[in-house]
Amino acid sequence: MHSHGDRRAIADDSRRRQATARPTTKKARPTTDAGAGADPATVLALQRTAGNAAVTRLLEDGRPRDGATGQETVQRAVHGGTPGEVVQHAEEEATGGHGGIKDRVGGKIKEKPTNDVERGFYADMRAGKHPALEGVVPDSYTAEQVQTMDGEKGKGDDSTHIYIDNLTHDMKMPKVLDIKVGESTASKQELLTSMSKADAWKKKMKLKVADKVTGSADRGYRAVGGTGLKGKSRRAIGRESEQIVQGISADPSVYDLLVEQLTQVRTAAENSGLAFIAASVLIAVDEQPATESPAATAKLNLIDFAHTFGPEQLSEEQVKKYRTRFDKGMARLIADVKAAGAAKKEAGEEADA
């Protein structure tokens, strides 16, 4: 027999053991099984692009799950429970989310922070090294030239920023659309030139998901920003790309002019010998022109060259691969713009009948 004191001691000991064994009730966090390579910033980026469910499929010890290929991993992430909406939103209507852009010289020039590749590209353009692209790429300036024009030093210089013509300068009511061209917006080989193997794989997988869920992988292009699109998720904007293209203007002649200019971009890119990854076509139309019709104001530029390369940087195979993907995207975009113009004309003829 036990005394009352012994029974109390046994009961106290039992309670202590139960408390030790009891599981915590803290709110569970999404698991990634990412191992040492999955830093919080990367996990957050993946969650924003494809949702928590996709993260567990994309990261496991820095490798595709169950030995799957990168493409199989992306397919699992996209079709195996990805939430309906992407959290991330388009932050800049005219620039597809590029931050830190500033007006200079009364809005005539845009000052944009960027990487060494894009700064080098524009320096080469000023030196006449890519003549095929003249007329489709915005003119650029040095920091000193811009400072001379507006008297302001600005936050950046040629080692951190580029200074390019503003496509919408002098437009009273510009309507803009930023379209990223190419079925793939990342090359692992190109990423390896500026980051570690693990970081390059993670970024490649993140962008593969984005390309799939926004339609770029199938369509060859996607809208990423534009007038009236602020606040929408990037996934929604990408998936609605064809409808967004159809809404550029009510004037069929706008589409005729855009088809002509897009064809010039496609030809220039082909003749340049360069590969463009995640480059964009920026379209602008003045909806309230001072004297001309909206069609007469329609214009566009090829922009965003942070991941542009030639055979001097990567293999001929890589150059050919991404040149082909860009060209296919341009061909599809031209076809969709042409179809949108034809539909506008037909609708107008029916209304007049």
Output the pLDDT for position 59: 39
Q: Is the pTM of this model over 0.85?
A: no
How many domains is the chain partitioned into structurally?
2
Domain that holds residue 179: 174-352
- 27 domain residue, yes or no: no
Tens-digit pLDDT string for the chain (353 aa): 444 455 455 455 555 555 444 444 444 444 333 333 444 444 454 545 444 444 434 433 334 444 444 444 444 444 443 333 322 333 344 444 457 899 999 999 999 999 999 999 999 999 999 999 999 999 999 999 999 999 987 767 899 999 999 999 999 999 999 999 999 888 777 888 888 888 888 888 888 888 999 989 999 999 999 999 989 999 999 999 999 999 999 999 999 999 999 999 999 999 999 999 999 999 999 999 987 788 889 999 999 999 999 999 999 999 999 999 999 999 999 999 999 999 999 988 777 76
Asked whether residue 195 falls in the same domain as residue 252, the answer is: yes
Q: The domain spanning residue 208 has which CATH number?
A: 3.30.470.160
- Indicate the residue among 165, 189, 213 that finishes a domain: 165
CA angle (316 as vertex; 67, 321 as ends), nearest 5 = 55
Q: Tokens 């991404």 label which residue? A: 322
Asked whether residue 148 falls in the same domain as residue 184, the answer is: no
- 234 domain residue, yes or no: yes
Asked whether residue 297 falls in the same domain as residue 249, the answer is: yes
Asked whether residue 138 falls in the same domain as residue 264, the answer is: no
Task: Give the separation between CA 219 and CA 348, rounded to whole angstroms.
Answer: 28
- 73 domain residue, yes or no: no
Residue 66 exposed, middle or buried by CB count within 10 Å (0-12, 13-18, 19+): exposed
Asked whether residue 200 falls in the same domain as residue 326, the answer is: yes
Asked whether residue 235 falls in the same domain as residue 261, the answer is: yes
Output the pLDDT for position 153: 76
The contacts of residue 9 (CB under 8 Å, 6+ apart) are none
